[in-house]
Amino acid sequence: MSWRVVLRQEVEHDVAEAAAWYEARQRGLGSALVEEVITIWDELAINPLLNSRRDHPEKDIRWRLTNRFPYRVVYEVMESTRTVVVACVVHAARHDRHWRARV
């Protein structure tokens, strides 16, 4: 049985902003980032528990690193409803407080 993946409103902006930056540097690179992020979302629907839990006092927060780009897909797992809430797609070098503000 698959999990339901829900994107927070800001996530589409995160991806669009990062993709535009890469596309401005090399044609097709922005599209490659978008495709990789969508693939991760699809994989989260199959098994979101595959990635390790992150330090959060109340929620089951996890992230998945992209393969080709230095980005993290940060998400919350809600096992009782089999729901994954994607909180943000953030550059891996950003401080943790950026994604913590979203979860």
Task: Note the pLDDT tens digit of each residue in 45-86.
Answer: 999 999 988 888 789 999 999 999 999 999 999 999 999 999
Task: Determine the pLDDT at residue 96.
Answer: 73
C-alpha 74/C-alpha 5 separation (Å) is 12
Averaged pLDDT for residues 83-102: 85
| pLDDT tens per residue, range 13-31 | 999 999 999 999 999 999 9
Query: What is the sign of the dihedral through the CA atoms of 27, 40, 69 and 9?
Result: positive
User: What is the span of the domain harbouring residue 91?
Assistant: 4-100
pTM for this model (two decimals) = 0.91
CATH number for the domain harbouring residue 49: 3.30.2310.20
Task: Determine the pLDDT at residue 102.
Answer: 75
Cβ atoms of 23 and 29 within 8 Å: the answer is: yes
